[in-house]
Every structure is written in structure tokens, then in C-alpha cells.
Amino acid sequence: MEKPNWTTTQEFIFSAFPYSRGDSVICFIPLLFIYAFIIVGNLVIITVVQLNTHLHTPMYFFISALSFLEIWYTTATIPKMLSSLLSEHRSISLNGCLLQMYFFHSTGISEVCLLTAMAFDRYLAICSPLHYPTIMTPKLCAQLTFCCCVCGFITPLPEIAWISTLPFCGSNQLEHIFCDFLPVLRLACTDTQAIIMIQVVDIVHAVEIITAVMLIFMSYIGIVAVILRIRSAEGRRKAFSTCVSHLTVFLLFFGSVALMYLRFSATYSLFWDTAIALAFAVLSPFFNPIIYSLRNKEIKEAIKKHMGQAKVLFFSTTGTQRKIS
């Protein structure tokens, strides 16, 4: 059978952004603020955990690892969104699109695995407090984090490799705000609905999400069972408070991810596709530093201490300079 004479598309144009210059600027300013806040907020958490020895515990090790992944997770998409909002030619090369998809999904899957490891950490801390220090050693924490990253960076490779072999021709208008599997597959010249691989991709996403949710859910069943056996209300409150931040981040992140990737044959309008994508790619990472700093007494106190030290250093330096002059 003779192969069709296709002209391969070498770049995609993002068509989900506002067309007017004024609307683009209105979207650009809050997005820039959010991105700057994500980077600074997560760097503050990483720095505070590193500088305070009393925070050198498994829980804070995982929080700082999550903050590190969040920086790269958002950097995979938001800078390109910002440049697209200000540019008239909102394009991305085919190779650039594949790379964006790979790093966005690899860091995202790494976060999913890490949130699961954090649930296991909370389960051990509350359900086996006596054995916890001997089980959750710094070595095991590092090994779990490494395994999460390996899993995250290997899992999307087959999908990306498969998509890179597909021919793209005709329309290059990508109806999304960044490169993602379904919007890109809609532009392939082949009938992607008939390709068995697309079903495999859906199943892989479903297995990843459902497995993580089930493991976290089972961890919290064990945690709740132990907390309910604690006699004092103060003891129950204190035990549960160590899980609130993780549970909030889990619900926020997994809720929006499930809406996007557990749809199977369901389709959403461009507006809802964009809104859901913004929820897990922008808003969830934006709230994470707030949740882990404002909801965490130890991190709040450590930040206040370092801010106080910085003020003292600043005023003492300013005073010395005035005396010299």
C-alpha cells in the first residue's frame, strides 16, 4: 500500500490563549506573580529545612524533596506560558513539545510517588512510633526519594517515544496552554482513536493514579484507626495535625489530575480543559508552599527566626556604614 504524501508539521501553535493584547497582559501579570511565588516559596522551604537541624527528620526531608520537584514541575510549563502570552507567534517546536511533555509528566509522576511515600511515612510515625526511628532512617528516605524519581522519569518514556514516531500534518493549532498527550494526539495524521496504544496510555495513567490513591487511602485508614484509639482529645488533635498538610496537598493535586487523566472517552470543552490544566499545573503548586508553611508550626517558627536574624544583620550593617560615613 502506498504511503500518503504528508508534509510533517515541525511546530505547534498554542490556540487556547487570549487573542487580544489586553487580555493577554491581564493573564500574564497574575501568572508571573504565581510563578515567582512558587519558586521563592519552595526555595524558602528547602533552605529553612537545610539550615535547621531540628527539621532534619523524614517528614521534612520529603517536604523539601517535594518542594524541589515542584520548582521543576512548574518550570516545565509556566515560563513557556508566560512567553506565549506576550508573543504574537505562540509556537513551540515539535521536539520542544515532546521535551515539555516529558519533563512535565516525569516530575508530576515523581510527585505522585513522593506523596505516596509521604503517606507511608505518616503511617509509620503514627501507627508504629517505637519502631519509626529505626525503620525510617535517612538512608531509607533517600532511597525512597530516588526510587520515586526513577519511576517518574522512566514511566513517560514509552509514551513520548511512541508519540515522536507519529506523523503530524494539516492543522498545527494546539488547543491547550501547554503540550499534553491528548491535545497533541488530536493533531496526529493517523486515526489515534483506532490505535491500541492510546488505550494503553489511558490505562497506564489510570493504574498510576488509582494505585497511588489506594495506597494513600489505605495508609490513612490505618492512621485514623490509631487516632480514634487515642483517649485524649489533645492527643488526637496533635496526631492528626501532622497529616493535615499532606492530606490537603494530596486532595488538591489528585483531584484535578483525576479529572484530567481519568476521563477515558469523555471530552470537555476547551474552557474546562484549560481550567482543569491550570488547577493541577499552576494552582496546586501555588498553594503547596502556603499549606506547608502556614499550616506547619515548626516551619513558620523557623522562617520567623531567620527573618528576625536577617533584620538584625541588615540594621547592624546599616548602622556600621552610617558610623563609618
For residue range 262-278, what is the model confidence (pLDDT) as tens digits?
Answer: 776 667 788 888 888 99
Average pLDDT over residues 118-131: 91
Half-sphere exposure of 175 (CA within 13 A, CB side): 13
Question: What is the pLDDT at residue 291?
Answer: 86
pLDDT attached to residue 93: 93
User: Which of the residue ranges 145-149, 206-210, 288-292 has the most confident prediction, judged by mean pLDDT?
Assistant: 145-149
Say yes or no to pLDDT of 14 above 90: yes
Q: Is 52 exposed, middle or buried (0-12, 13-18, 19+ CB in 10 A)?
A: middle
CA distance 61 to 71: 16
Q: What is the per-residue pLDDT for 194?
A: 43
Higher pLDDT, 4 or 62: 62
Q: Give 171's contacts (C-beta < 8 A, 6+ positions apart).
A: 187
Q: CA 240 to CA 246: how far, in whole Å?
A: 11
**Residue 12: strand pairing partners:** 92
List of long-range contacts for 72-75, beta carbons under 8 Å, 24+ apart:
72/103, 72/107, 73/104, 73/107, 73/108, 73/111, 73/281, 73/285, 74/35, 74/38, 74/39, 74/281, 74/282, 74/285, 75/39
**What is the band of 1 on the pLDDT scale with cuts at 50, 70, 90?**
very low
Over residues 69-114, the pLDDT tens digits come to: 999 999 999 999 999 999 888 899 999 999 999 999 999 999 999 9
| Burial bucket for residue 267 (CB in 10 Å: 0-12, 13-18, 19+) | exposed
The C-alpha cell at 271 is 474552557
End-to-end Cα distance, the chain: 86
For the chain, percent of residues with pLDDT exceeding 90:
43
Using the predicted structure, report yes or no on whether residue 3 has a pLDDT greater than 50. Answer: no
109-118, 174-183, 202-211: least confidently modelled range: 202-211
The residues, any chain, with a CB within 8 Å of residue 34's CB and separated by 6 or more, are 78, 282, 283, 286
Would you state the pLDDT for residue 197? 63
Sign, CA torsion 119/122/124/126: negative
For the stretch 293-305, pLDDT in tens is 766 777 877 777 7
The pLDDT of residue 242 is: 75
**Under a CB-based contact definition with an 8 Å cutoff, are residues 256 and 278 in contact?**
no
The Cα–Cα gap between 101 and 131 comes to 41
Phi, then psi, of 188 in degrees rounded to 5: -70, 150
Which ranges of 52-180 would DSSP assign to H, the alpha helix? 58-75, 78-86, 94-127, 132-135, 138-154, 157-164
Q: What value does the mean pLDDT take over residues 158-182?
A: 87
**CATH superfamily to which 11-261+268-299 belongs:** Rhodopsin 7-helix transmembrane proteins (1.20.1070.10)
Lowest mean pLDDT of 25-39, 117-131, 180-194, name the range.
180-194
Look at residue 255 in the predicted model and tell me its pLDDT.
84
**Residue 315 pLDDT > 70:** no
| Domain assignments of the chain as residue spans, ordered by start | 11-261+268-299
Tell me the three cell numbers of residue 9. Answer: 508539521
SS3 content of the chain, % helix, strand, coil (to 5): 75, 5, 20
Nearest C-alpha neighbor of 285 from the set 82, 115, 48, 100? 115
Instruction: For 235-260, write each residue's pLDDT tens digit.
Output: 788 777 778 888 888 888 888 888 78
Identify whether the C-beta of residue 16 lies closer than 8 Å to the C-beta of residue 270: yes
Residue with the bigger pLDDT between 45 and 232: it is 45
More confident residue, 242 or 44: 44
- What pLDDT was estimated at residue 6? 47
Scored b (16 or more CB within 10 A) or e, 179-208 reads bbbbbbbebbeeebeeeeebeebbeebeeb
Is 192 or 160 the better-scoring residue by pLDDT? 160
The predicted structure's pLDDT at residue 266: 64
